[in-house]
Structure 1
Amino acid sequence: MSNEPTLRPERPFFSSGPTAKFPGWSLDKLSTKSLGRSHRSSYAKGRLKYAIDLSKELLGVPEDYLVGIMPGSDTGALECAMWTMLGSRPATVAAWESFGNVWIQDAVKQLKLPNLTTLDADYGLVPDLASIPQDNDVVFTWNGTTSGAKIPNTDWLAPGREGVTINDATSAIFAMEMDWPKLDATTYSWQKVLGSEAQHGMLILSPKAVERIESYDPEWPLPKLFRIKKKGKIDRAIFEGATINTPSMLATEDYIAALEWAQSIGGRHAMFERANRNAQTVFDWIEATPYLRNMVPDPAQRTNTGVCMVFQGEWYESLSAEEQANVPKKIASTLEKMDIGYDFNGYRDAPPSLRIWCGGSVEQEDIKRLLPWIEWAYEELKAGRL
């Protein structure tokens, strides 16, 4: 039997969403003064506005952009942008993993957009974004949460382009710098890179996005949760602490605590650095491990958050497809039962893989301690002992 590693991660949280709480998090760090209050009370509304303002400050969002809290996590925010902005001109939806393909299905089957082009690519690859016409509206995912492939840059978006850009940034924001002048609607959720609680999303709108929403009425009916304008104008109250439906003030306080932690360590750039260090630790290990390869072949397109890896080599390739699929599952489930690492099996629709979250709320030392355990579990499985 191979020797078990001696060091265990102190915080074995490697899920890609909800992600690990920030180091030192505990319930007693959350303010409870807003609990049991109406979310429309001056105090609770002030806390919601504070969450908006601190988000805007930390992310470096331009002053003339609007930031609002939306129901339904990143999904609700992104679909609100699609339902309210698309349909007035040709559109392209680009996808290279599971969630991007959901936006394609929304455009094709739900909105049934005329003049629609879809671009897709296999897991680990990014389609030819430069082929998108600049007068098209475009929906894209900055970072493929389930494939580990990100856009390497925004060179394919021309300054002052005619179409609007709708950016699903949920597993990228707070880990990668956003090119705000080229982004018209950007969305994310609290439970991703900051590791806060779920069900709330953020919608960030440029002046160009606001103009589109105010000047365009889509043909389809809008659910109440997507109605962000009144009497032909954007409802600015939503971007000042009011919400369309009732938010969880406990989740809001948890989000505020995460924002304040990020601010205390140096803001978004410190978060970028932490994610980069964490991801490089995993990249280097993959390169040094013969039976693994990064799911993303192009280093410029590799994420620094949900790093995805697939197995290779003579032993693995001798297995049946079903046996191959069980390799990452067995490794992840074994180490979960041992409380070594939680939730790092690959996404259910992705190729059989492991996915280690490397965002800024994870400590590098915990990743370093996890990796030898994966090696141990692999050798145990190969030897037939798991």
Structure 2
Amino acid sequence: MKKHNFNAGPSILPRETVENTAKAILDLNNSGLSLMEISHRSKDFQAVMDEAEALFKELLHIPEGYSVLFLGGGASLEFCMVPYNFFEKKVAYLNTGTWANKAEKEAKGLAFGEVVEVASSKVDNYTYIPKGYSVPSDVDYFHITTNNTIYGTELHADPDVNVPMVADMSSDIFSRPIDISKYICIFGGAQKNLAPAGVTFVIVKNDALGKVSHYIPTMLDYHTHIEKGSMFNTPPVVPIYGALMTLRWLKAQGGVDEMQRRAKERADMLYSAIDGSRLFRGTVTCEADRSYMNICFVMKDEYKELESEFVTFATEHGMVGVKGHRSVGGFRASCYNALPKESVQALIDCMKEFENKH
């Protein structure tokens, strides 16, 4: 039976990424050595790092004056690294979900200055993205999480504010065009739209660094990694190679614009099926905020008792990872860049077959 991978992360990758990385793990460039055992300072791996950085800049149209880093620690470490590098007196956060809330908590814990929460949808279980908020003009940065994997909301455009922005784009990077010039830092764990788990990408504006008065631990200082080309310590070589394979795939498929078209097409198909269903309903209360990446839905109240039965039914029909996050329940179909439209159609067919049973 064909499997349809809706896992939220680690998640589906292009088949070329999986196959080519597997080959390199056995033998990189006919070197007789595995990707897992070569020196990260070898010519073979330096070429991997250089091409990955170049493709990042090309695909996202990153302007001059920005560095691209490949680090360890996941996006969760960036919740700490960002304030260490940019927080001098006052910062602002938009609280739109679990990961935004965690990022804000880290900034408050460091106590470098004032942390302003400009708006939050927490009281309504993060079922929408707040509107009509104002960002203080004197903040060092305004932090946003562009896609909320657990609750299924997404910012589909860069906010229009007059302060430097920082964004966690772990789960929607390369799914839409970005105006990089609005940001001093963009980061994300790569295990959703880019690579196997283990590498974190960071896009940082060079001249925004060096403006804080507090001490920055060496490993948390972006300067450390810029100066050493992401090789101050041994980088996660296998995930970086996987990222390069995905970046090549993205370019060959038509780049970010094509990924955006596909994302909207997949999301429109599935949301239409949910909205037209007798059993299911979406969880996001503002349709404009619905995520293209993580489509969250539940059984209507009168059919709640069927939720576990549907998870079993979907799994038996080849749907993988459709159970919602343990903190919210329900269902979640993660539709990242590598997911084919055919998988979405298979899920829709599965939902309709289940509905016909009941």
TM-score interval (norm. to shorter): 0.7 to 0.9
- The answer to whether structure 1 residue 355 and structure 2 residue 332 are counterparts is yes
Letter aligned with residue 323 of structure 2: N
The residue aligned with 2:188 is 188
Matched to 1:374, the amino acid is: M
Within 2, Cα distance between the matches of 1:100 and 1:330? 32
- C-alpha distance in structure 2 between counterparts of 1:59 and 1:328, whole Å: 40
**Deviation (angstroms), 1:120:** 1.8
Q: Is the 8 A contact 1:198 1:251 kept in 2?
A: yes
Letter in 2 for 1:285: A
Gaps of 5+ in 2: 30-34
Aligned position for 2:222: 228
Q: Secondary structure of the residue that 1:271 maps to in structure 2? A: helix
Check whether the contact 1:19–1:192 (CA below 8 A) recurs between aligned residues.
yes
SS at match of 1:153: coil
2:311 aligned residue = 332
The alignment status of 1:19 with 2:11, answered yes or no, reads: yes
The correspondence of residues 22-171 of structure 1 with structure 2, limited to 5 A, is 22-23=14-15, 25-28=17-20, 30-31=23-24, 32-33=28-29, 34-86=35-87, 88-108=88-108, 110-118=109-117, 119-121=119-121, 122-128=125-131, 130-136=133-139, 137-158=141-162, 161=163, 164-171=164-171
Which residues of structure 1 form unaligned runs of 5+?
A: 1-7, 317-322
CA distances 1:83-142 after superposition (whole Å, capped 9, x unpaired): 2211x122112222111111122122x313432122321322112463221322211101
Tell me, yes or no, if the aligned pair for 2:169 and 2:188 is still in contact at 8 Å. yes
Aligned residue number for residue 249 of structure 2: 261
CA distance in 1: counterparts of 2:113 and 2:50, whole angstroms: 38
Q: Shift in Å at residue 80 of structure 1?
A: 1.8
Q: 1:255 to 1:292 in 2, by over 3 A?
A: same
CA distance in 1, matches of 2:137, 2:153: 23
State the alpha-carbon separation in 1 of the partners of residues 101 and 285 from structure 2.
21
Contact 1:85 1:212 in 2 (8 A): yes
C-alpha displacement at 1:156, in angstroms?
A: 3.6
**What do the CA deviations read for 1:35-90 (whole angstroms, capped 9, x no partner)?**
4221122331221121111111112211321111111122234432232211x122
The normalised TM-score by structure 2 is 0.87
Structure 2: distance between partners of 1:147 and 1:140: 15
Cα distance, 1:365 vs. partner? 0.9
Question: 1:299–1:315: structure 2 CA closer, same or farther, 3 Å change rule?
Answer: closer
Superposed displacement of residue 332, structure 1: 2.3
Q: CA deviation at 1:26?
A: 4.1
**Distance in 2 separating the partners of 1:43 and 1:185:** 29
Match of 1:215 in 2: 211
Aligned CA RMSD, in angstroms, stands at: 2.4
Contact 1:23–1:363, Cα closer than 8 Å, also in 2: no
Structure 2 residue 324 is matched with structure 1 residue 346: yes
Distance 1:199 1:329, change over 3 A: farther
Q: Distance in 2 between matches of 1:152 and 1:260?
A: 24
* 1:170-193, Cα deviation, whole Å (9 max, x unpaired): 112111221212111001222112
**Does structure 1 conserve the Cα–Cα contact (< 8 Å) formed by 2:278 and 2:355?**
no
Q: 2:275 aligns with which of 278, 284, 287?
A: 287
The amino acid that maps onto 1:267 is G
| Letter of the structure 1 residue corresponding to residue 96 of structure 2 | W
Across the two proteins, how many residue pairs are aligned to each other? 344
Structure 1 102/328 Cα, relative in aligned 2: closer, same or farther at 3 Å? farther
Deviation at 1:28, TM superposition (A): 4.5
